[in-house]
Amino acid sequence: MSYLRAEEILPREVLELVQQYIDGDSIYIPRKEKHRWGEGTDTKKTLECRNQAILNQFLDGVSVHALAEEYFLTEKSIQRIIRGMQFMNPES
């Protein structure tokens, strides 16, 4: 992450106002528009597909231990995924 120099981008009046609250320290200025996690990439969709596959395999009789090894996750993570997917798909 690179930092921008406030004196190079903010008008002097704004900089002086900010300096009344924080002087010489770094601050984070949040975005005006919040983006939901996974909006900018395919990651969310990929994980949903993976989790659905885990649930389907579990319902077909594959053990939690075997699923953990196949997907390189802990058994606890597999259990959490199964619980979450069953909650999202109550007919499963």
At residue 9, does pLDDT exceed 80?
A: yes
26-50 average pLDDT score: 86
**Percent of the chain residues topping a pLDDT of 90:** 62
Confidence tier at 46 by pLDDT (50, 70, 90): very high
31-42 average pLDDT score: 80
Residue 1, in any domain of the structure? no
Residue 84, in any domain of the structure? yes
Confidence tier at 67 by pLDDT (50, 70, 90): very high
- Domain range for residue 34? 6-88
Looking at the structure of the chain, the number of domains it has is: 1
Residue 76, in any domain of the structure? yes
How big is the chain by its Cα radius of gyration, in Å?
23
